[in-house]
Structure 1
Amino acid sequence: MQIHHRRFGRTGWDVSEIGFGAWAIGGAWGDVSEADARQAVHAALDAGTTFIDTADVYGDGRSERIIRDVLHERGGKRPVVATKAGRRLNPHVADGYTKANIEAFIDRSRENLGVDTLDLVQLHCPPTDVYFRPQLFEGLDELVAAGKLRHYGVSVERVEEALKAIEYPNVVSVQIIYNLFRQRPAQLFFREALAKNVAVIVRVPLASGMLTGKLNAQSTFAADDHRHFNRHGEAFDVGETFSGVPYDVALEAVDALRPYVPQGATMAQFALRWILMEKAVSVVIPGAKNAAQAQANADASALAALPEETMAHARRIYDQLIAPHVHQRW
């Protein structure tokens, strides 16, 4: 099946609308073997994926190094590889976001990924104050001029951070959570991103696996899986785990959505296709722990557009069940 492509903001890149999110092959998702991780990346690329998203903290560089090795092994035309920087700071505070610190992280990622110039570096969900520090963005401009990266963007927790970030003229992309359980970005942010030709990378598209439809009240998770240790935001923003929706409420919403899954599609593919109905979205980056998951994710690109009736039902389920828990928080 042919994977469709979209323009990535004003970079001049065309990328596959389904990308590969490489958090799961780094860590915090239970045990993923090196072999499975490599096969997942290979499968995504074999399916036509041309955008990979990773970060320096995913497995302390493991994710970046696996990507490096797979791309070296394959040769040929490289996909766009985006990484993130900032979460290595300890403590993770706004004052740590200096040009010097970010440059050191970038240099480490260049080594991990085996390249002189990174395609895209994203600030990795920094504290809100960082978006009000123009000197940092000027420093990023200097690193672009120095040839260490081609472009930079931001990965945000909240819509308000996204709106502030795109006031900086050289922020080419924003990574944000948007899915059937997190619909607020479509109200204002997407319109502004389109107006400024800013690429939108959608993460957590399946709400940490909840929107695969495979979880239930008895599901358990490994001790090193964030779905076990971050259920209440103990380690990082709770919005990154099940999109911040209480587990029992999320299960109820999934059951309400099941009748609208297109015939022949999985619920995960339906959830991905729902995101792709939004024209402001440049690429969605579901994760995969193995080759089969990577292939199934890519296949969502081939689904037909969802009917207006289905979109209306999805909005109603969100308004009634989900919005009271998440809408104004992020």
Structure 2
Amino acid sequence: MQTSALGQTGYEVTEVGLGTWNIGGGAWGDVADEAGREVVRTALDAGVTFLDTADVYGDGTSEQHIGTVLDEPEYDREDVVVATKAGRRLDPHTAEGYTAENLERFVDRSRENLGTETLDLLQLHCPPNEVYYQPAVFEALADLKARGKIAQYGVSVEKVEQALKAIEYPGVETVQIICNMFRQRPAELFFEEANRRDVGVIVRVPLASGLLTGAIDRETVFPANDHRNFNREGDAFDRGETFAGLPFEAGLDAVEALEPYVPEHMTMAQMALRWILDHDAVSTVIPGSTSPDHIRDNVDAAEMDPLSHETHGAVRDVYEAFVADDVHHRW
């Protein structure tokens, strides 16, 4: 698979990585432990070298699954970059909680879950907006790096404005952000600035919570403990994490409008991933899945030719007609 430099971290990572929110359970329905570990193995066997997780995915279950698999004899930790996140364990989740003491406590827990002395990449986990204006938080991350508990640090953000503020701090080497055919605003000014500053860009929610797989329709029923059921209005966390913030019915209308433009040799999911990878600023994209076949199909998108200018134009037209009014100004 094609690889890209992850900003100035020194890491070369595969253009398609693996997001592991869904293997922790708790927000995507129930996932058995062995099924979660098999997801990690499938991705590694397909050549993936970048895994993204967080300390709150299944209260650490996702991190533990990754740590367990990387300890198996057929895998070498040195071949894989694992990014995790910290901050969302705070209750209440407030800017005041982002202290050096709390961050170190979260880092130590993640180190234990992952079975490593040094975290490859620690990301602040969509912190409150005020955190981006508190230099002491970023000084605490720099201290953890100096003491060898983390190798690199970055941020995971909800909004473009937060990303632009975060990369003003010189130690922030990566930004994780939602970008897909239904969330196009990051591909404007932020991608330009990330390129200029050589910041690594990690794209999450690339398939808009499954909308852009083409496998969801108006009859689809989601389990009660699936965020696509309980977070459509942002009742549990930022609404933009669910269907990229687009109302479900409007999302289905947009998918139907996109279907005629899917290239013959691609699935809609592959087209969605390829659309993201066609942006030079993107280092890696992290789709998640519990299906081995889907994981392998996602990986294949990295080897496919870029989309044509005509297809990119059609995607933009669909976005402007069906999506932009609902999401463009919000994130």
- TM-score normalised per structure 2: 0.98
* Whole-angstrom distance in 1 between the partners of 2:283 and 2:252: 28
After TM superposition, the structure 1 stretch with the greater mean CA deviation from structure 2, 254-263 or 13-22, is: 254-263
* Whole-angstrom distance in 2 between the partners of 1:198 and 1:147: 21
Aligned-partner SS, 1:328: coil
Residue of structure 2 in register with 1:62 after alignment: 61
Aligned-partner SS, 2:228: helix
**Structure 1 residue 93: Cα displacement:** 0.5
Aligned-partner SS, 1:202: strand
* Whole-angstrom distance in 2 between the partners of 1:276 and 1:191: 15
Residue of structure 1 in register with 2:317 after alignment: 316
* Whole-angstrom distance in 2 between the partners of 1:303 and 1:31: 33
Residue identity opposite 1:11 in structure 2:
T
* Whole-angstrom distance in 2 between the partners of 1:229 and 1:115: 34
**Aligned residues, how many?**
328
Aligned residue runs from structure 1 range 183-222, under 5 A: 183-222=184-223
Q: Is the 8 A contact 1:37 1:290 kept in 2?
A: no
1:40 equivalenced with 2:39 (yes/no): yes
1:307 equivalenced with 2:305 (yes/no): no
Per-residue CA distance 1:168-205 (angstroms, 9 max, x = gap) = 00000000000000000111000000111000000000
**Structure 1 residue 230: Cα displacement:** 0.4
Q: Is the 8 A contact 1:41 1:294 kept in 2?
A: no
**Structure 1 residue 13: Cα displacement:** 1.2
Unaligned 5+ runs, structure 1: none
* Whole-angstrom distance in 2 between the partners of 1:34 and 1:293: 19
**Structure 1 residue 31: Cα displacement:** 1.6
Residue identity opposite 2:13 in structure 1:
V
Residue of structure 1 in register with 2:171 after alignment: 170
Q: Is the 8 A contact 1:39 1:290 kept in 2?
A: no
Per-residue CA distance 1:273-301 (angstroms, 9 max, x = gap) = 01000000000000011322211111111
Per-residue CA distance 1:26-77 (angstroms, 9 max, x = gap) = 1211121222211111111111100000000000000000000111013324
* Whole-angstrom distance in 2 between the partners of 1:189 and 1:280: 9
* Whole-angstrom distance in 1 between the partners of 2:264 and 2:90: 46
* Whole-angstrom distance in 2 between the partners of 1:75 and 1:44: 12
* Whole-angstrom distance in 1 between the partners of 2:260 and 2:56: 38
* Whole-angstrom distance in 2 between the partners of 1:290 and 1:216: 19
Unaligned 5+ runs, structure 2: none
After TM superposition, the structure 1 stretch with the greater mean CA deviation from structure 2, 287-296 or 177-186, is: 287-296
Aligned-partner SS, 1:18: coil
1:31 equivalenced with 2:33 (yes/no): no
* Whole-angstrom distance in 2 between the partners of 1:121 and 1:292: 29
RMSD: 0.8
* Whole-angstrom distance in 1 between the partners of 2:111 and 2:133: 27
**Structure 1 residue 264: Cα displacement:** 2.6
* Whole-angstrom distance in 1 between the partners of 2:58 and 2:229: 17
Residue identity opposite 1:232 in structure 2:
E
**Structure 1 residue 119: Cα displacement:** 0.3
* Whole-angstrom distance in 1 between the partners of 2:247 and 2:225: 20
Bigger RCO (CA 8 Å, 6+ sep): 1
* Whole-angstrom distance in 2 between the partners of 1:101 and 1:216: 42
* Whole-angstrom distance in 2 between the partners of 1:75 and 1:125: 31
After TM superposition, the structure 1 stretch with the greater mean CA deviation from structure 2, 262-271 or 277-286, is: 262-271
* Whole-angstrom distance in 2 between the partners of 1:40 and 1:125: 25
Aligned-partner SS, 1:211: helix
Q: Is the 8 A contact 1:41 1:291 kept in 2?
A: no
Residue of structure 1 in register with 2:17 after alignment: 19
Moved over 4 A (4+): none
**Structure 1 residue 162: Cα displacement:** 0.3
